[in-house]
Amino acid sequence: MICYIDAFSGLAGDMLVAALADAGADRNLITQALKSLATEGDFTWDNVKRRGMAAAKFRVTVTETPKHRHLSGILKMIAAADLPDSVKAASGRVFDVLAEAESHAHGVSVEKVHFHEVGAVDSICDIVGICMALHLLKVDKIYCSAINTGSGTVNTEHGVLPVPAPATARLLQGKPIYARGPALELTTPTGAAIVAALADGFGAMPPMSIRSIGYGAGDRDFKEHANIVRVMIGEANLAPESTTVSVIEANIDDASPQVIGWATEKLLEAGALDAVQLSAQMKKNRPGVILQVIAPPEKREELIALLFRETTTLGVRFYSAERRVQSREWVEVTTPHGAIRVKTAPDGFAPEYEDARKLAIATGVPLKQILAEAAHEYLKTR
C-alpha cells in the first residue's frame, strides 16, 4: 500500500494528520492513541474549506506552558504510550532525524538539543498521530512530490530567520523543493522531518491504483492557492509510469572527443537517466555535438554544474518533459557460459549488456552469441 503526499502548499504536521484521517484513518483511534501520550492536550477534528476546497482540520489545544524537551524525554513519552510497536518505531525515527538536523543547525550534540517549538505538545502529537494514521491505513511505502517550502522569513526563538529555517533546510537537503505563493513558511520542521525520515522517494507519483484521497487544511486561507495538503492512498500496480524529467542540452563545438566521452561517463555516474551525443553542424560550419542529458528534476542543478565543470560549454538550456516507462524487474538466467541478468517489462526484455560483456571477455565467446543464448534461456522460462 502506497501513500503519495502532494505538498503543493507545503507540509505541516497538523495538515498531514488531517489529510490521512480524511483518507480513511479512524479519527477516534488516532485520538485514543494520542491521549495515551499523557500530554494533557485536547484534540479536535473539523471540516473546513480553503479557497472553496473541502478539507479536514486537526487541532491540538494545550493548557500547559510549552516546555523545552530533549530527545531522550520525548522517546520515553512515546515508549510509555499505548501504541503499536511499529508506530513507536516510526515516531522514534522521525525524532532521531529531527534531532540530528537541530544538532547540526545549533552546533551542539544530539543529547543537548532543545526542541523548542518542535518539542511542544502539538508537534509531538502531530508526529505520533501521523505515524498512527499510516499504521491504520496499512501504508507500506511513502512517496512525496516536490515540496513547496514558502519564502520570506519566519519568527523563531532565535529571532527572524529566512525560509526555509535552518533545521527545515537541513532536513530537505537533497530533496526536490521550490518556493511559490505567499512569502511565509509553508513547510515546518515537523512536516520536513516526517518525509525526511519516512519517505521512500520524491518526485512524480509512482504507478498505483488509488483507493482513497484525503485533504488536510492549514490554518490560513490564501488568495493564491488552497492551503491544503493532499494524500492519495492506493496499491502499487504495473501500469506504465509517467514521470516528469529535466532535459538538459549543451551545444559544443570546441572540445575533443575524449572530453565529451569523459563528461558523458561522469554525467551517468552522477545520476543522469541517460546522456547522448547528437551530431550537429554548428555556426561557422564547425562540426560539433549536442550533449543531451535526461535527469531526475532533483538532479538538474548538480548535472548542470557538472557540464560546466567538465566541458567547454559556456551555456546550457533545460526544460521539463514527460517520460513514460514500463515497470521493470530483473530475472537471472543461466547460459552455458555463466549467469546473466535479464531486464524484463510487460512488453519486452533485454539481457544485461555488462553481464554479457564480462562473460565474453572471460570465455572468448562472441558477445552476440552470449546475448542470443541469454535471450533463448529467458524465453524458455516464459
Of residues 373 and 63, more confidence is placed in: 373
Question: Per residue in 128-170, pLDDT tens?
Answer: 999 999 999 999 999 999 999 999 988 877 788 899 988 899 9
Give residue 171's pLDDT. Answer: 94
* pLDDT tops 50 at residue 355: yes
pTM to 2 decimals? 0.67
Q: Which strands form 201-202's sheet, in the order they lie side by side?
A: 42-50, 53-61, 208-217, 228-236, 2-6, 141-144, 201-202
Reported as a pLDDT band with limits 50, 70 and 90, residue 373 is very high
Give residue 117's pLDDT. Answer: 47
Give residue 118's pLDDT. Answer: 47
Give residue 108's pLDDT. Answer: 73
User: Distances in Å between the alpha carbon of 71 and those of 68, 95, 126, 196?
Assistant: 10, 7, 16, 17
CATH architecture of the region 242-325 = 2-Layer Sandwich (3.30)
Preceding omega of 162 cis (within 30 degrees of 0): no
What percentage of residues in the chain have a pLDDT greater than 70? 94
Mean pLDDT of 252-262: 94
Give residue 238's pLDDT. Answer: 56
First to last CA, the chain: 28
Question: Per residue in 1-51, pLDDT tens?
Answer: 999 999 999 999 999 999 999 999 999 999 999 999 988 788 999 999 999
Of residues 320 and 113, more confidence is placed in: 320
Q: How far apart are CA 82 and CA 58, in angstroms?
A: 21
Give residue 65's pLDDT. Answer: 57
Reported as a pLDDT band with limits 50, 70 and 90, residue 320 is confident
Asked if residue 216 lies in contact with residue 15, where contact means CB atoms within 8 angstroms, the answer is: yes
Mean pLDDT over the full length of the chain: 90
Of residues 122 and 53, more confidence is placed in: 53
SS3 190: helix
* C-alpha grid cell, residue 154: 519566519
Give residue 106's pLDDT. Answer: 67
Identify the CA nearest to 273 among candidates 298, 308, 309, 240.
298
Domain ranges of the chain: 2-238, 242-325, 329-380
* C-alpha grid cell, residue 35: 491521549
Give residue 241's pLDDT. Answer: 59
Backbone dihedral region for residue 223 (phi beyond 0: left; psi -120 to 50: alpha; all else: beta):
alpha
Biggest distance spanned by C-alpha atoms of the chain: 78
Backbone dihedral region for residue 283 (phi beyond 0: left; psi -120 to 50: alpha; all else: beta):
beta
Reported as a pLDDT band with limits 50, 70 and 90, residue 321 is confident
Quick count: other Cβ atoms within 10 Å of Cβ 312? 14
Question: Per residue in 97-121, pLDDT tens?
Answer: 998 887 877 677 777 666 654 457 8
Give residue 211's pLDDT. Answer: 95
Asked if residue 10 lies in contact with residue 151, where contact means CB atoms within 8 angstroms, the answer is: no
